[in-house]
Amino acid sequence: MNVIKNGDSRVTKIINKKKLNIEAEYRLSHYTYLYSENGRYLIRNNLTFEVVELTEREWYAVQQIKDRSVNYDYIVGNGLEQLAMSRYIVDKGYDETKQYQETLFLLKTMSGQKKGISSYDILPTTGCNARCVYCYEEGYAVKTMTTETAERLVDFICETRYNDTVKLRWFGGEPLANANIIRYICTALRERGVSYESSMVTNASLMTKELAHEAKELWHLEKVQVSLDGAKEDYTPRKNYYNPEKHNYDVVMKAIHYLADEGIKISLRVNVDFDNIDRIPSFLQDIKDEFGRYQNISLYIAPLFQEQHGERCIELYKRIFELSKLQNQLGILKSTKGEHNAVSLRMNFCMADSIGKCVVITPDGVFNNCEHLPEAQTWGNIFDGVTDKAKFDELNQPAKVDEKCAKCPFLPECTPFYKNGCPGWFEKCYEYHCLKTEHDMHNLLKGVNAEAEDDDEEL
Evaluate if residue 38 carries a pLDDT over 80.
yes
CB 171 within 8 A of CB 203: no
Query: What is the DSSP-derived secondary structure letter of residue 334?
Result: B
Tally of CB atoms within 10 A around 56 = 11
CA–CA separation, 135 vs 133, rounded Å?
6
Q: Which of 176, 140, 144, 125 is nearest to 373 (CA)?
A: 140
Question: Is residue 226 in some structural domain?
Answer: no
Question: How does pLDDT run across 238-276, given as a tens digit for each residue?
Answer: 999 999 999 999 999 999 999 999 999 999 999 999 999
pLDDT, greater one: 112 or 244? 244
Question: How does pLDDT run across 422-448, given as a tens digit for each residue?
Answer: 777 788 889 999 999 999 999 999 886
Question: Is residue 69 in some structural domain?
Answer: yes
CA–CA separation, 260 vs 297, rounded Å?
7
Question: Is residue 218 in some structural domain?
Answer: no
CA–CA separation, 442 vs 173, rounded Å?
39
124-128, 339-343, 409-413: lowest mean pLDDT where?
Answer: 339-343
The phi, psi pair for 282, rounded to 5°, reads: -70, -30
- CATH number of the domain at 45, please: 3.90.930
CB 176 within 8 A of CB 150: no
CA–CA separation, 120 vs 21, rounded Å?
49
Residue 147 CB partners (closer than 8 Å, separation 6+): 181, 184
Question: Is residue 88 in some structural domain?
Answer: yes
Domains in the chain: how many in total? 1
Question: Is residue 266 in some structural domain?
Answer: no
Question: Is residue 65 in some structural domain?
Answer: yes
Question: Is residue 265 in some structural domain?
Answer: no
The CA-based angle 359-362-366, given to 5 degrees, is 75
CA–CA separation, 355 vs 160, rounded Å?
13
Evaluate if residue 290 carries a pLDDT over 50.
yes
CB 352 within 8 A of CB 339: no
Evaluate if residue 450 carries a pLDDT over 60.
no
pLDDT, greater one: 184 or 111? 184
Question: Is residue 25 in some structural domain?
Answer: yes
Q: Which domain holds residue 100?
A: 2-110
Question: How does pLDDT run across 204-246, given as a tens digit for each residue?
Answer: 999 999 999 999 999 999 999 999 999 999 999 999 999 999 9
Question: How does pLDDT run across 383-411, given as a tens digit for each residue?
Answer: 999 999 888 887 777 777 878 788 899 98
